């Protein structure tokens, strides 16, 4: 049901109402003092039964000589399917209700005005108070507490299974992300990105002179629990996951960063770097090494490479790459000779420095 904003207009002198657009009492009507006044000429009369709307308590809003008659229900017209819903709107200055729903009682709602709590439960009803941020008015709304609980459980019946299902999906997604985050591949990738892999340099001593003539670069991975892993533990993982090129580039970059300037000023010293067999499948590494030796003014003879004997699996593919290394004056040697590569004919064809 909708209500007209203004039901009637009245002409008045002060608080003496003379006539309206529909009726004109013989002597007019003098209304009791206003509930609210504002200078210079504004007056509001709440819930007044006058001859102009006999039998109905209306709100009269006066400005100067003109009075607008408004149905109080207009101020709080609400559409709801809740048969227990009640409401009232009141003036926070005068503490007077100027609009109440048909089911609401001023005697019930008025005591709630003075409560500090915005939500209160009384006589089977839940009352909530809301204050306007722009006008000196507030609204109190009430509904059956039992109906509220019933609606809550009805929604819970539908929402709970969906919530459980959603939680399971999120849990599975979280477990999958965590599993991926904690996978050996991701751990190794993070170690590379955060420069957590460490290089240690083991001195190489000339037995005859008992002097240090070089060093072997040894890559180690400090684990999260403090243990240190050697290449035998993580290099197979890098080869399996296609990360060996990243490992090799990491080692080359750090070796030259640590020893590049030193080798440039000590031509009689060299560094030995361990490589994987897959590093000899393409000529990519030669170009990178050449770029580093030129950048740091290091002689190719000062860089030596070692690869484990059992890593030589594809002799035909590796032979031309090893030859290119040797032609560029880089020494290529076999580490742990005699352990796994027993075919001496193939060993000779590789043309390595044993």
Cα distance between residue 265 and residue 263, in whole Å = 5
- The packing angle between helices 184-193 and 231-240, to 10°, is 100
Full-prediction pTM beyond 0.85?
no
Q: Are strands 86-91 and 96-100 parallel, antiparallel or unpaired?
A: antiparallel
- Among 18-22, 39-43, 276-280, 325-329, which is the least confidently predicted range? 276-280
CATH number listed for the domain at residues 77-147? 3.40.1840
The residue ranges of every structural domain in the chain are: 8-70, 77-147, 185-350
Q: Are strands 270-275 and 58-63 parallel, antiparallel or unpaired?
A: unpaired
- Among 7-11, 78-82, 161-165, 323-327, which is the least confidently predicted range? 78-82
Residue 341: is its pLDDT beyond 50?
no
For residue 31, the 8-state DSSP code is: P
- Among 37-41, 56-60, 310-314, which is the least confidently predicted range? 310-314
Q: Which range is most confident: 70-84, 106-120, 225-239?
A: 106-120
Mean pLDDT value across residues 150-159 = 82
For residue 195, the 8-state DSSP code is: T
Mean pLDDT value across residues 305-333 = 78
Give the pLDDT band (50/70/90) at residue 1: very low
Give the pLDDT band (50/70/90) at residue 82: confident
Compute CA distances 11 → 28, 95, 115, whole Å.
Answer: 10, 28, 40
Residue 312: is its pLDDT beyond 60?
no
Compute CA distances 213 → 203, 256, 267, 270, whole Å.
Answer: 8, 17, 10, 7
Please check whether residue 9 is in contact with residue 67, taking contact to mean a CB–CB distance below 8 angstroms. yes
**What sign results for the dihedral spanned by CA atoms 273, 275, 280, 281?**
negative
Residue 198's DSSP bridge partners are 220
Top pLDDT among 5 and 221 is at: 221
Task: Give the pair of three-digit tokens for residue 196.
Answer: 């957590």
Task: Provide CB contacts within 8 A for 108, sequence distance 6+.
Answer: none
Task: Give the pair of three-digit tokens for residue 186.
Answer: 């991701």
Compute CA distances 63 → 60, 66, 74, 130, whole Å.
Answer: 10, 6, 20, 28
By C-alpha distance, which of 5, 21, 98 is closest to 66? 21
CATH topology of domain 185-350: TIM Barrel (3.20.20)
- The packing angle between helices 315-327 and 284-296, to 10°, is 20
By C-alpha distance, which of 63, 22, 21, 28 is closest to 44? 63
Percentage of the chain with pLDDT > 90? 33
- What is the enclosing helix (H) or strand (E) of 170? helix 145-181
Q: Is 185-350 in the same CATH topology as 77-147?
A: no
Task: Give the pair of three-digit tokens for residue 31.
Answer: 């209304």
pLDDT digits (tens, 9 = 90+) for 233-262: 888 888 888 899 999 999 999 999 999 999
Residue 117: is its pLDDT beyond 90?
no
């Amino acid at each position: 049901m909708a209500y007209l904003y203004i039901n009637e207009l009245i002409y008045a002198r002060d608080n003496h109402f003379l006539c309206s657009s529909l009726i004109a009492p013989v002597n007019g009507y003098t209304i009791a003092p206003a509930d609210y006044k504002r200078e210079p000429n504004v007056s509001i009369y709440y819930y007044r039964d006058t001859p102009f709307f006999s039998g109905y308590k209306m709100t009269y809003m006066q400005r100067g000589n003109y009075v607008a008659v408004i149905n109080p229900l207009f101020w709080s017209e609400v559409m709801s399917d809740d048969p227990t819903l009640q409401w009232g709107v009141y003036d926070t200055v005068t503490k007077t209700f100027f609009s109440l729903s048909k089911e609401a009682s001023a005697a019930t709602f008025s005591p709630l005005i003075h409560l500090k709590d915005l939500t209160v439960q009384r006589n089977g009803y839940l009352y909530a108070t809301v204050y306007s941020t722009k006008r000196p008015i507030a609204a109190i709304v009430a509904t059956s507490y039992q109906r509220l609980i019933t609606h809550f459980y009805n929604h819970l019946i539908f929402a709970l299974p969906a919530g459980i299902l959603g939680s399971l999906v999120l849990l599975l997604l979280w477990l999958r992300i965590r599993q991926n985050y904690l996978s050996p591949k991701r751990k190794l990738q993070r170690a590379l990105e955060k420069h957590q892999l460490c290089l240690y340099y083991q001195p190489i001593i000339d037995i005859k002179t008992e002097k240090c003539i070089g060093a072997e670069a040894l890559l180690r991975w400090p684990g999260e629990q403090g243990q240190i892993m050697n290449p035998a533990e993580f290099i197979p993982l890098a080869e399996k996951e296609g990360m060996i090129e990243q490992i090799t580039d990491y080692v080359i970059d750090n070796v030259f960063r640590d020893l590049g300037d030193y080798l440039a000023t000590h031509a009689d010293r060299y560094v030995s770097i361990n490589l994987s067999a897959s590093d000899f499948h393409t000529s990519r590494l030669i170009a990178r090494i050449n770029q580093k030796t030129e950048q740091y003014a290091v002689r190719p003879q000062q860089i030596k490479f070692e690869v484990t004997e059992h890593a030589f699996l594809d002799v035909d593919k590796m032979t031309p790459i090893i030859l290119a290394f040797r032609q560029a004056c880089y020494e290529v040697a076999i580490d742990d000779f005699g352990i796994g590569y027993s075919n001496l004919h193939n060993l000779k064809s590789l043309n390595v420095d044993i």
